[in-house]
Structure 1
Amino acid sequence: MAGALMEYKALELGYTVSWEELTDPPLLYSAVADGQVDVYPSSWAERNHVGYIEPYAEQLEDLGAYQSGAISFLAVPEHSEMQSIEDIPEYWEEIGERIVGIEPGAGLTQQMIDDVLPAYGFEETDMVTSSTPAMLVELENAIAAGEEVVVTLWNPYWPMSEFDVRPLDDPLGAFGEPEGLHYVATAGFSEEHPELAEWVEDFELSDDEFNALENLIVNEYEDGDEQAAVEEWLQEFPGTLQRRLWRKLSVLSPRTPPTPQIWASELFAGIKRPTREIDRQTQHGRKALTLGLLAK
């Protein structure tokens, strides 16, 4: 959803904008590293996606985090009697003897396999991978029927605002602390596109703002109408986000690009981001921007 906002700002600055949809995180980060995609605007760069980023670290640039409270968890309907992950075995038969996951290649799925399932004594086969839409159908059906279900979920994400759903307590801390959502770009992006990079540096979203925009785009507008959704959303949040979006642009100097951010993860500490010459496509003399999207 932060990508739709970057598109909104880029269009105002005279860019042509396109989207590249890829099926899993490794392909997407490879495309950003190669310059096929300029920016991935929804990167869990501090922990969840570190394994995907590491092979391309020197070809990527972290433009900064726009949301600091992103976290994954196991979730249940609001009516559930379960309060903690430790309660799941007691309700194992009621939930169909499985935890409902998402795509096999997702960072959350790997986090479940590596950290969460073993921490609580589950086997890898206790989680059924499927797809994000299939998981949401299972969740919505259980809510409507008053039944028990356990799904992998995260926030910010629009169902957290639209469904009667809540996280299970994680007493062992297997999911870790909240992390930031980052704009990750091809190395050299901030020098080539200083206005957009400066906007990202000064940009932040709350959970409510993120979820409201995502809900509009996913559920209220058709594909291709994302910018109309942004326009409606800006009317809903006129006094907060709009000021953040535009307040620095009037004083930007294109001759003074911002300093690229370093990676928040210690894994990338000390790596110097090289500046590369990138052959950007242009259309009718306008700058072109390609944003990355994970297919779901």
Structure 2
Amino acid sequence: MTKRHLISTLALGGAAALALSGCASGAEAETLDNGDRKDLTIAVFNGWDEGIAASELWKAVLEEQGYDVELEYADVAPVYQGLSDDDYDVVLDTWLPITHQDYIDEYGDELVDLGAWNEDAKLTIAVNEDAPVDSLADLAANADAFDNRLVGIEPGSGLNRVTTDSVIPTYGLDGMDYLTSSTPAMLAELTAATDAGENIAVTLWRPHWAYDAFPIKDLEDPEGMLGDAEGIHSFGGKSFEENFPTLAGWLKDFRMDSELLYSLENAMFNENDSDDYGPVVEQWIADNQEYVDSLTS
């Protein structure tokens, strides 16, 4: 990942988080021959690259089908509020039953669960592969080796909640400085530390392209505070099935294993020096045409 990519991603996330973008009302919207509204707004969580990758893929696929697709970047909490108000149509990156469960408990009655498209999601604490510890149980005793710092992501993320409420108290990490700001900022810290050969501990998750880009390893979690594997679900807003009956069916059938997801993420974030994902996704679609065709068959 390039420094340019990190900075521009951070800028994009910050700008997009300032406001929600409203959609045209159903009565005013143009309709496609398949019965779906033509204009579609996909909410994308700032910094969550599997969601960015899946959203860019579906954007390309649906635009070929005649949809006008807008990707709106925002933090997690405003997305679920926006879905419940029909400000957004769908989000493709809800982790259950742990990471985003609080938001589903609050807003779930107004939303529609379109099912899990990947079942291998996992929250992690990662360190450089030559770090002097292999388990979270040993991190507190070796905090000095990491400059007494644990680098996190967005304060409003489910990963931050699990880290704060479960990981830190269980493993006695209260004495470490737990830094939260954004995923791009965390990745910038990870880049700098691994380039310099320094120890670093970060909150991370699988699947994520960082595991291919950096020499890192997961710390063992003997108490199970980060949970087991989760499912990555698509969730529609309260009017989604009414406004997009065909797309709702496609997303209910959507499946993408981690190997495919890693290949798309690597193409977009690890092997690409530009923030223009369009050509990269177009090439990935051409290389995986049979799979992509199955998404709307």
TM-score normalised by L of structure 2: 0.76
Matched, 1:226 2:277: yes
What residue identity is the alignment partner of 2:55? G
Moved more, 178-187 or 116-125: 116-125
Higher relative contact order (CA 8 A, sep 6+): 1
Quote the residue 2:65 is aligned against: 13
Matched, 1:245 2:245: no
TM-score normalised by L of structure 1: 0.76
Quote the residue 1:29 is aligned against: 80
Question: Aligned residue pairs: how many?
Answer: 244
Quote the residue 1:257 is aligned against: none
> In 2 relative to 1, CA 166–125 (structure 1 residues): closer, same or farther, beyond 3 Å?
closer
Which structure dedicates a bigger proportion of its chain to helix?
2
Quote the residue 1:104 is aligned against: 155
SS at match of 1:64: strand
State whether residues 150 and 176 of structure 2, in contact with CA within 8 Å, keep that contact through their aligned partners in structure 1: no
Pairwise CA distance, 1:125 = 5.8
Pairwise CA distance, 1:218 = 3.4
State whether residues 86 and 239 of structure 2, in contact with CA within 8 Å, keep that contact through their aligned partners in structure 1: no
1:172 to 223, 234, 250: 223
Pairwise CA distance, 1:148 = 1.2
Pairwise CA distance, 1:243 = 5.3
Once the two structures are superposed, the pairs formed by residues 200-219 of structure 1 within 5 Å of their partners are 200-219=251-270
Structure 2 unaligned segments of length 5 or more: list them: 1-52
Matched, 1:62 2:106: no
Identity of aligned residues (%): 37
Matched, 1:139 2:190: yes
Q: Distance in 1 between matches of 2:109 and 2:61?
A: 27
> Following TM superposition, where does structure 1 have runs of at least 4 consecutive aligned residues deviating by more than 4 angstroms?
none
SS at match of 1:44: strand
1:3 to 55, 67, 74: 55
Quote the residue 1:266 is aligned against: none
State whether residues 99 and 152 of structure 1, in contact with CA within 8 Å, keep that contact through their aligned partners in structure 2: yes
Pairwise CA distance, 1:123 = 1.6
Quote the residue 1:129 is aligned against: 180
Pairwise CA distance, 1:143 = 1.6
| RMSD of equivalent CA atoms | 1.9
SS at match of 1:171: coil
What residue identity is the alignment partner of 1:244? S
Matched, 1:50 2:101: yes
What residue identity is the alignment partner of 1:216? A
> In 2 relative to 1, CA 123–7 (structure 1 residues): closer, same or farther, beyond 3 Å?
same
Pairwise CA distance, 1:221 = 5.9
SS at match of 2:145: coil
Pairwise CA distance, 1:86 = 1.3
Q: Distance in 2 between matches of 1:62 and 1:170?
A: 29
Structure 1 unaligned segments of length 5 or more: list them: 250-296
Pairwise CA distance, 1:109 = 0.6
Pairwise CA distance, 1:124 = 7.6
State whether residues 113 and 124 of structure 1, in contact with CA within 8 Å, keep that contact through their aligned partners in structure 2: no
> In 2 relative to 1, CA 15–238 (structure 1 residues): closer, same or farther, beyond 3 Å?
closer
Quote the residue 2:11 is aligned against: none
Q: Distance in 2 between matches of 1:55 and 1:87?
A: 36
What residue identity is the alignment partner of 1:226? Y
SS at match of 2:195: helix
Pairwise CA distance, 1:233 = 1.4
